[in-house]
Structure 1
Amino acid sequence: MRKLLALLSLLWLSGALAVSYVVKIEGEIDLPLATYVENAFAEAEAAGASGLVLWVDTPGGRIDAAMKISDVVLESPLPTLAVVKNAFSAGALISLSAEQIAMLPGSEIGAALPINVSPVSEPTAADRKFISAFKAKFRAVAEARGRPVELAEAMVDPEIEIEGLVAKGEPLTLTAAKAVELGVADFECVSLSEALEKAGFDGQTETLEIPTRIKVSRVLTNMYVAPVLLALGLLGLVVEFFTPGFGVPGLLGLIMLGLYFAGGLMAGMSGIVEVSLFLAGIALLLAEMFLIPGFGVAGIGGLAALAASIYLTFGNQAILVGSLAVIIGAVGLFLVLRYLPRTRAAHALVLNNAIDAQAPPRERLSALVGAVGRAISDLRPAGVARFGELKVDVVTDGEYIPKGSFVRVIKVEGARVVVRREEE
């Protein structure tokens, strides 16, 4: 009798201590959110949770992130319940991945047609190949959870027409009542507590809040924030390159690039490979601009390395991020060249002496071979030097020569005057 009472007490305590963990799927679906969900599921399983509840309120987002979350939900050994406030696009896939779906008042699910977003045009539907692949994922998830396959596919493919439900040319979206009626969802509820009760989950819940690190990375990797950080970072370094010493532009550029990389690293979107490719790309472009005449292998390699870094970090959003960065960088460079020279602060940034450089006849330039003069601007490697009364545009073989140094002309190639530093 004593053993029976002890066993009953143990069973009662186990039930009393059982907790359902709530995971929030809110806002745009992105890779940092996928990292949060993966960690939250692992934490809940390690803590011995009795079930996992997905609170879904999202307009959609990245398909690769949604697929990652879907796989985590499908593979979880714990019972799963999706409580839907709104589950559009990628959110629909995540909701369908749960064992049970509860629909809140006024909720909807569906509208999962993949779209391409461009900075210069209206969003357009993805090509048929991509739609087919995403539709296959919806079909696989619906089959795994015993939900109507055709309805799941119709959420993705606007070519599927279902009489009395959805016309050809638009993806399927279901209201709460219709989703339950057609078997896409399991029941309607007015609150989380009612959803838990109807699903047979323990009433005691613990919400796994999104960590601050993930919240920050979601902002930094946003497809409209990341291009700004990237463009301003590169622009700051370009301005710094033409500035004597090391000052504000370089510092701001490094801070912007630091934030750009920090977001990807915190979200698990980028690592040593992506960072190395990016730095290698910058180095190759600088070499092409200032050390190697023309535009050749180094320049092409630099652009390829930068593009690879952005693609590996942002995946199917890489074109949008890269395009926005180029546009923002071009506008920023125009504003710097247009307005900065007019400000007092620009006197330290702009090589005003270069404006006064003379362009003597080529025969006079040829006579300068062996002549010694003084650099009247920093040579990075191009700049201006004075030889007697002449101010001449010159270039070094790649070395940096500070303003005020003596230089000697070592060769003249047409209008190109090459100098090296002369010891005083």
Structure 2
Amino acid sequence: MPHPTPSPKPYRIRTVKRLLALCFLLSLALGKTYLIPIQGEIDPALAVFVEQALARAEREGASGVVLLIDTPGGRVDAAIRISDRILQTPLPTLAVVQNAFSAGALIALSCRQIAMLPGSEIGAALPVVALPLQQPQAADQKIISALKGKFRAVAEARGRPVELAEAMVDPQVEIPGLSAKGEPLTLSADKAVELKVADFKAGSLSEALRQAGYSLETERLEPGPRVQVARFLTSSTVAGLLLALGLLLLLLELFTPGFGVMGTLGLAFLALYFAGGWLAGLSGAFELVLFFLGVALLLAEAFLFPGFGIAGALGVGSILASVYFTFGENALMVIAIAVIALGLGLLVVFRFLPRTRPARALVLESTISEHATGDEVEVGAIGVALTDLRPGGVARFGNKRIDVVANRGFLPKGTTLRVVEVRGPTVVVEALEE
């Protein structure tokens, strides 16, 4: 006859229950681990998101913060902003690296611990300058030196190899057996751990949390709609196109009667351009005032002071300054894209669009048709405006149609004109007093 299975002793059951309760209480004491993804291009909008996420983690008593890093790099100023905020937080921070190139390497080095996932790499932080239609070029030596100093300071603060951190930025720092002179240092997961740049390897996020001693109760924080919209609008390509389209449509509005669709769309594109900077915390009232001051100066140059002079130069300078203050190191890229797009847009409008029927209803075709040249009219000649002068337009002098520019403001069609100046092909006219 088989012996009955003995029942568990009561004290063992109580011990297990106490252990489970203790584990539960410990998990409550530890609090949650907050996960912050650092993915895609590093930009100012992402910096705003990381600052907000860290503030929330501190406010809600998180046990630690994990940054999930998978980035090819991005803007140096945004990376420095994120790095400084990570260094300031009193919470334990862990970087779990899939790939941390360029600006991403600085963010990873700023964390107290670094875990490398299988196949991950870290480094290649040489700052570069990129322009449309060109290969990226290494930045000026002053910029390289400044960023190398930042990497050095972060490595010292976190007790990591300073020379290796500097070699990630400066290709002139040679590490025998690791990087040749002229190439920034990049480390595989194994090498990063071996050389103490990273703390350990982990097969997964959960394994990294266990090895680092973090609570497994996690909450992933994601960028909200505001940050996502800001990241889209402040990308160099989108910002440059918005700026170009806004200016192009406002220029075309000058050649159409009244204020209509093109002017409204132009203002809408410019509003989106500034909205992106405002949402990302890049621009405020100062940049907005600076930009529209530039536009006002260009309009004054066009309507009040024909020809390109001081007002026009100040207007262009004011617009460029507003872009620089908004986009910092990316301003050159934004301006280059805007100039290329604006040039192509003007080429299309004045070369091809006038031949289409819809364009004839929007743009005064007579302003772009062939006319007599300025050397066929003399100062003092009397004529009549065939189109509105905004300030450019067409006038008739005898049996000749000539492109003219009003010396002051807007002159309506039919105004009697007198030539006051001829500068090469430019014929400047004024309204003849009755």
TM-score, normalising length: structure 1: 0.89
What residue in structure 2 maps to residue 203 of structure 1? 216
**Is 1:407–2:418 an aligned residue pair?**
no
**1:15 equivalent among 9, 28, 36:** 28
**2:193 equivalent among 180, 200, 204:** 180
CA–CA distance in structure 2, aligned partners of residues 181 and 240 of structure 1 = 64
Specify whether residues 45 and 401 from structure 1 end up closer, same or farther in structure 2 by C-alpha distance, changes over 3 A only.
same
CA–CA distance in structure 1, aligned partners of residues 243 and 380 of structure 2 = 44
What residue in structure 2 maps to residue 418 of structure 1? 430
Q: Is the 8 A contact 2:406 2:428 kept in 1?
A: no
Following TM superposition, by how much is the alpha carbon of 1:17 offset from its aligned partner in structure 2, in angstroms?
A: 7.0
How does 1:348-363 map onto structure 2 within 5 Å?
A: 348-354=361-367, 355=369, 362=377
CA–CA distance in structure 1, aligned partners of residues 171 and 372 of structure 2 = 67
**Is 1:155–2:168 an aligned residue pair?**
yes
Amino acid of the structure 2 residue aligned with 1:72: R
What residue in structure 1 maps to residue 391 of structure 2? 381
Specify whether residues 136 and 407 from structure 1 end up closer, same or farther in structure 2 by C-alpha distance, changes over 3 A only.
same
Specify whether residues 92 and 419 from structure 1 end up closer, same or farther in structure 2 by C-alpha distance, changes over 3 A only.
same
Q: Is the 8 A contact 1:381 1:398 kept in 2?
A: yes
Amino acid of the structure 2 residue aligned with 1:379: L
CA–CA distance in structure 2, aligned partners of residues 111 and 409 of structure 1 = 66
CA–CA distance in structure 2, aligned partners of residues 69 and 51 of structure 1 = 17
Following TM superposition, by how much is the alpha carbon of 1:248 offset from its aligned partner in structure 2, in angstroms?
A: 2.7
CA–CA distance in structure 2, aligned partners of residues 296 and 124 of structure 1 = 35
Amino acid of the structure 2 residue aligned with 1:112: A
Amino acid of the structure 1 residue aligned with 2:41: E
Deviations 1:205-225 (A, max 9, x none): 111111111111111111111
Following TM superposition, by how much is the alpha carbon of 1:44 offset from its aligned partner in structure 2, in angstroms?
A: 1.0
**1:246 equivalent among 241, 247, 259:** 259
Deviations 1:65-103 (A, max 9, x none): 000000000000111111101000110000000001111
Following TM superposition, by how much is the alpha carbon of 1:330 offset from its aligned partner in structure 2, in angstroms?
A: 0.6
Following TM superposition, by how much is the alpha carbon of 1:119 offset from its aligned partner in structure 2, in angstroms?
A: 1.9
How does 1:59-98 map onto structure 2 within 5 Å?
A: 59-98=72-111
CA–CA distance in structure 1, aligned partners of residues 432 and 91 of structure 2 = 72
What residue in structure 2 maps to residue 24 of structure 1? 37
How does 1:120-139 map onto structure 2 within 5 Å?
A: 120-139=133-152
CA–CA distance in structure 2, aligned partners of residues 13 and 321 of structure 1 = 52
Following TM superposition, by how much is the alpha carbon of 1:387 offset from its aligned partner in structure 2, in angstroms?
A: 8.0
**2:234 equivalent among 221, 230, 248:** 221
CA–CA distance in structure 1, aligned partners of residues 235 and 358 of structure 2 = 33
Following TM superposition, by how much is the alpha carbon of 1:47 offset from its aligned partner in structure 2, in angstroms?
A: 1.1
What residue in structure 1 maps to residue 7 of structure 2? none
Q: Secondary structure at the match of 1:119?
A: coil
CA–CA distance in structure 2, aligned partners of residues 358 and 111 of structure 1 = 60
Specify whether residues 180 and 17 from structure 1 end up closer, same or farther in structure 2 by C-alpha distance, changes over 3 A only.
closer
Q: What residue ranges of structure 2 are gaps of 5+ in the alignment? A: 1-17
Q: Is the 8 A contact 1:395 1:419 kept in 2?
A: no
More displaced 10-residue stretch of structure 1: 59-68 or 411-420? 411-420
CA–CA distance in structure 1, aligned partners of residues 178 and 397 of structure 2 = 84
CA–CA distance in structure 2, aligned partners of residues 187 and 14 of structure 1 = 24
CA–CA distance in structure 2, aligned partners of residues 325 and 358 of structure 1 = 33
Q: Secondary structure at the match of 1:314?
A: helix
Q: Secondary structure at the match of 1:118?
A: coil
Amino acid of the structure 1 residue aligned with 2:431: V
**Is 1:141–2:154 an aligned residue pair?**
yes
CA–CA distance in structure 1, aligned partners of residues 313 and 336 of structure 2 = 17
**Is 1:271–2:271 an aligned residue pair?**
no
Following TM superposition, by how much is the alpha carbon of 1:346 offset from its aligned partner in structure 2, in angstroms?
A: 1.7
CA–CA distance in structure 1, aligned partners of residues 248 and 411 of structure 2 = 23
Q: Secondary structure at the match of 1:270?
A: coil
Q: Secondary structure at the match of 2:288?
A: helix
Instruction: Count residues in correspondence.
Output: 409
CA–CA distance in structure 1, aligned partners of residues 75 and 350 of structure 2 = 37
More displaced 10-residue stretch of structure 1: 265-274 or 124-133? 124-133
Following TM superposition, by how much is the alpha carbon of 1:285 offset from its aligned partner in structure 2, in angstroms?
A: 1.7
Specify whether residues 393 and 178 from structure 1 end up closer, same or farther in structure 2 by C-alpha distance, changes over 3 A only.
closer
Following TM superposition, by how much is the alpha carbon of 1:130 offset from its aligned partner in structure 2, in angstroms?
A: 1.4
CA–CA distance in structure 1, aligned partners of residues 74 and 377 of structure 2 = 61
Q: Secondary structure at the match of 2:295?
A: helix
Q: Secondary structure at the match of 1:224?
A: helix
Specify whether residues 252 and 178 from structure 1 end up closer, same or farther in structure 2 by C-alpha distance, changes over 3 A only.
same
Deviations 1:374-393 (A, max 9, x none): x5322213334568977665
CA–CA distance in structure 2, aligned partners of residues 367 and 19 of structure 1 = 84
Amino acid of the structure 2 residue aligned with 1:226: A
Q: Secondary structure at the match of 1:83?
A: strand
Following TM superposition, by how much is the alpha carbon of 1:300 offset from its aligned partner in structure 2, in angstroms?
A: 1.5
Q: Secondary structure at the match of 1:105?
A: strand
**1:316 equivalent among 324, 329, 343:** 329
Percentage of pairs with the same residue: 59
More displaced 10-residue stretch of structure 1: 410-419 or 16-25? 410-419
Q: Is the 8 A contact 2:381 2:397 kept in 1?
A: no
CA–CA distance in structure 2, aligned partners of residues 304 and 337 of structure 1 = 26
Q: Secondary structure at the match of 1:225?
A: helix
TM-score, normalising length: structure 2: 0.87
What residue in structure 2 maps to residue 47 of structure 1? 60
Q: Secondary structure at the match of 2:25?
A: helix
CA–CA distance in structure 1, aligned partners of residues 370 and 115 of structure 2 = 75
Amino acid of the structure 2 residue aligned with 1:276: V
More displaced 10-residue stretch of structure 1: 12-21 or 115-124? 12-21
Deviations 1:18-55 (A, max 9, x none): 10111110000000000000011111111111111101
Specify whether residues 394 and 83 from structure 1 end up closer, same or farther in structure 2 by C-alpha distance, changes over 3 A only.
closer
CA–CA distance in structure 2, aligned partners of residues 421 and 152 of structure 1 = 75
Following TM superposition, by how much is the alpha carbon of 1:335 offset from its aligned partner in structure 2, in angstroms?
A: 0.9
Following TM superposition, by how much is the alpha carbon of 1:397 offset from its aligned partner in structure 2, in angstroms?
A: 4.8
